[in-house]
Chain A
Amino acid sequence: MSETVTTGHKWTMIVDLDKCTGCQACVVACHAENNVPTANEDEVVRGRANHWMRIERYWEGEYPHVQARFIPVFCQQCEEAPCEPVCPVYASYHSEQEHLNMQVYNRCIGTRYCGNNCPYRARVFNYHAPHWDAPLEQQLNPDVTVRSAGVMEKCTFCIQRIRRAEEDAKVEGRPLRDGEVVPACVQACPTDALIFGDLNDEESRVARMLPDERQFKLLENLGTQPAVYYLKGGETHVGE
């Protein structure tokens, strides 16, 4: 556990599993915000559903006493990210300033080593040139690059929104305010299950919420030190 990071922003996401209903609004918002291409049915059957953010659904118990559990999984922005050292061209690298995993699309040659090495399988490879069914191609976000076939991509914590907020704050000559940076998934979440903020800002909502007795990190035993905290959901089930 490295809670020792104090320099720069420590962008952190909290996922409250008690509040998550598995509605997938965050998934849709992410696609729209980040120009993530949509995969057709054949591709999904082949296991190429390309979401930066996905709601993993697990079943618990034996029929008929089954429960569905949801857990939103996206890039965990690991402090010790396994995807970073394996990239031979530095397309996947660590931002020391913001403590984020960066992916440089221009630099990526598509060895897909990072994808293999991500235990969360949070990385998405562009197996095809990006495609949107009409009229979705009319609503691409001008702030985000459209990635070509053959490169790897993943959740960025909506870095374009972080940059926009930082620039606004700079123009107004003030520090960033908590809640000013809102990633698309957080904005779309109807139950407020996703909370985003700077852990280094003591006044921020995430800093005040942590530590929490329900908190855990995904695959914490691997030592990847994710920046995403999950709050255990005791009663997160449907069908009862």
Chain B
Amino acid sequence: MLESSATQGPYWEQPLPEDEHLRHQMEHLREEHLLFDPRPPAELNKYVLAAMKKTGPRFWLLVLGLGGMVSVFLVTWLLQMIYGIGITGLNRSVMWGPYIANLIYFIGIGHAGTFISAALRMMRMDFRRPIARAAETITLFGLATAGLFPIIHVGRVWKLFYMLPIPNQRGLWPNYRSALFWDMSAITTYIIGSTLFMYVALIPDFAMARDHTSGWRKKLYTALALGWRGSEGEWHRLETVSNLLSFVIVPVMFSVHTGVSWNLSMSLQPGWHSAIFGPFFVVGALYSGVAAVILVMILVRQAMGMGYFIRKEHFNAMGIFLLILTLTWIYFYFAEWITNWYGNLPPEVAIQRQLTGPLAPLFYGMLFCNIIVPLATLWSRRIRTNLKALFVVALIIQVGMYLERILIVAAFLSRNELPFNWVDYVPRLPEILITVGAMSFLVLMYTLFTRVAPIIPVWEVYEGQAVQSPRRIGRAVVPTRTEAH
């Protein structure tokens, strides 16, 4: 019913108007927007649960393959612990290499998820509803993977607890002046905050799953749902906590990649010692992170048949966001580069010569992936809504951002103040295996997670559908949204 009336049925029963013009508009609206295409909650529940429980041979093959890669990763790591960091390609000048680049990269791709969810929630942008969980999940496992790398990186991993502020008999505390300590604190806060944020939103979905499953799943969801009954008070508290946590998450998100960048910029290393690194890294993280969320959205939609929930409107919106981030990132990179170039300090000139000389393929390849490709494609709505094209663009951005990270760590370190200490860095097999294995770990965790937790926040979708409805104003159908919260 387009007319407001107390006698109308539930929100998902809205017959199309008889007027052909209006009917056409309504059909268009429903096709375009998930929230104007309501279905009964029970149907949506069934849809999501069925996708969650389905595990075919292809799924297990994927898990087996990824599991194999993760085993290789673990064995390589064990060998590294036994034989020392010497099995990597690091040397006396380049003491940080791919492990730190991976830390930056994985935090980066894990960055955007919760941020998108929290920031869009703060701004009441309802299109986030179906994609929030998929994005938050990549934060969760992106951070988990990133968190492995400081552990892999250190020389004596069995002494890592020295970094924790735990009481000990010598009264020795960690060094609060070290950027590594700030970084560790920021990452820990973000992991805890984003996990809480995600879990709070998961409770109603766990309760839903609890009510519709049996066996081990029933037991698991009963525990995880924390006795959720769906009373008015519970929903109210859920809303309050989610809003509060969104406001907490956003500043913490900024602190995390700023902290990571400060590991580099607080040092005296030429090229690193730059005040712009904080915001530059945050933008870079969002850039690769949003591209990663798009990749995940496409994969979840195609592999789990989520075409009803994740639609073109979402890809279009995310594509525009990605384009904005492309431009922002270019601006920051340009500002950083031109200051160094104009400053013309000898060690920084040496770094620039290194990048445009022997490492030119990597450097120009990075610029091509991060600047040319996104700028050439993302302006077009047709490409933004074409899943194959968007997938390729997002993947290319991942490659570009990874190159950027590895160059900024290893290539910069290979040039420093005293030319006698210029040592080039070449990666060796263990580092490559560990990097590929960590990526597999992230994908594996994500894949398994989609089979134990509803990857679409169903309650958010039907809440969104309930508060929105089309209204007729004259000869036009207009989307409206109630503020009843």
Docked complex Cα distance between A82 and B86 (Å): 25
Docked complex Cα distance between A199 and B34 (Å): 78
Docked complex Cα distance between A222 and B347 (Å): 13
Which residues of chain B are near A85, meaning CB under 8 Å? Answer: 175, 177-178
Choose one: A43, A47, A109, A120; the contact of B155 (CB below 8 Å).
Answer: A109
0/1 string, B68-94, CB within 8 A of A gives 1: 000000000000000111100111111
CB of B460 closer than 8 Å to a CB of A: no
Which residues of chain B are near A46, meaning CB under 8 Å? Answer: 89, 91
CB of A117 closer than 8 Å to a CB of B: yes
Count A-B pairs with CB separation below 8 Å.
138
0/1 string, B99-125, CB within 8 A of A gives 1: 000000000000000000000000000
Residues in B123-176 with C-beta less than 8 Å from chain A: 150, 153-157, 159-160, 162-163, 172, 174-175
Which residues of chain A are near B160, meaning CB under 8 Å? Answer: 109
**In the complex, what residue of chain A is closest to B266 when comparing beta carbons?**
A86
Docked complex Cα distance between A151 and B157 (Å): 11
Which residues of chain A are near B174, meaning CB under 8 Å? Answer: 88-90
Which residues of chain A are near B91, meaning CB under 8 Å? Answer: 46-48
Q: What's the least CB distance linking A49 to chain B, in Å?
A: 7
CB of B352 closer than 8 Å to a CB of A: no
CB of B423 closer than 8 Å to a CB of A: yes
Choose one: B86, B413, B418; the contact of A120 (CB below 8 Å).
Answer: B418
Which residues of chain B are near A49, meaning CB under 8 Å? Answer: 92
Question: Are the CB atoms of A219 and B417 closer together than 8 Å?
Answer: yes
CB of A233 closer than 8 Å to a CB of B: no
Which residues of chain B are near A126, meaning CB under 8 Å? Answer: 84, 155
CB of A128 closer than 8 Å to a CB of B: yes
Sort chain A's interface into a size bin.
35 or more
The answer to whether residues A88 and B92 also contact, given A58-B419, A113-B267, A127-B84 and a CB cut-off of 8 A, is no
The answer to whether residues A111 and B153 also contact, given A82-B267, A86-B180, A222-B268 and a CB cut-off of 8 A, is yes
Question: Are the CB atoms of A116 and B84 closer together than 8 Å?
Answer: no
Sort chain B's interface into a size bin.
35 or more
Residues in A82-104 with C-beta less than 8 Å from chain B: 82, 85-90
Which residues of chain B are near A218, meaning CB under 8 Å? Answer: 418
The answer to whether residues A88 and B416 also contact, given A48-B91, A150-B156 and a CB cut-off of 8 A, is no
Question: Are the CB atoms of A116 and B83 closer together than 8 Å?
Answer: no
Q: What's the least CB distance linking B183 to chain A, in Å?
A: 9
Docked complex Cα distance between A126 and B255 (Å): 33
Docked complex Cα distance between A88 and B181 (Å): 6
Which residues of chain B are near A152, meaning CB under 8 Å? Answer: 155
Q: Which of A54, A88, A111, A219 has the most CB of B within 10 A?
A: A88
**In the complex, what residue of chain B is closest to A50 when comparing beta carbons?**
B92
Q: What's the least CB distance linking B274 to chain A, in Å?
A: 15
CB of A125 closer than 8 Å to a CB of B: yes
Choose one: B90, B162, B179, B181; the contact of A109 (CB below 8 Å).
Answer: B162
Question: Are the CB atoms of B420 and A56 closer together than 8 Å?
Answer: yes
Q: Which of A50, A89, A151 has the most CB of B within 10 A?
A: A89
Docked complex Cα distance between A165 and B405 (Å): 50
**In the complex, what residue of chain A is closest to B423 when comparing beta carbons?**
A47
Docked complex Cα distance between A117 and B423 (Å): 15
Which residues of chain B are near A127, meaning CB under 8 Å? Answer: 84-86, 90
Which residues of chain B are near A48, meaning CB under 8 Å? Answer: 86, 91-92
Which residues of chain A are near B177, meaning CB under 8 Å? Answer: 85-86
Question: Are the CB atoms of A87 and B178 closer together than 8 Å?
Answer: yes
CB of B424 closer than 8 Å to a CB of A: yes
Q: Can you sample 24 A-B contacts with CB below 8 Å?
A: A47-B92, A48-B92, A86-B178, A88-B163, A88-B175, A88-B184, A89-B163, A107-B172, A108-B155, A109-B154, A112-B153, A112-B155, A113-B180, A115-B95, A116-B95, A116-B269, A116-B413, A121-B416, A125-B90, A126-B155, A148-B156, A150-B84, A150-B154, A151-B156
Interface residues of B (CB under 8 A from A): 83-86, 89-96, 150, 153-157, 159-160, 162-163, 172, 174-175, 177-181, 184, 263, 266-269, 413, 416-421, 423-424
Interface residues of A (CB under 8 A from B): 43, 46-50, 54, 56-58, 73, 82, 85-90, 107-113, 115-117, 119-121, 124-129, 148-152, 218-219, 222
Additional 6 contacts, C-beta under 8 A, given A48-B86, A107-B162: A85-B177, A87-B178, A110-B156, A127-B86, A128-B83, A128-B84
Q: Which 10 A-B pairs have the closest CB atoms?
A: A110-B155, A150-B155, A47-B91, A47-B423, A127-B86, A149-B84, A112-B95, A56-B420, A88-B178, A150-B156
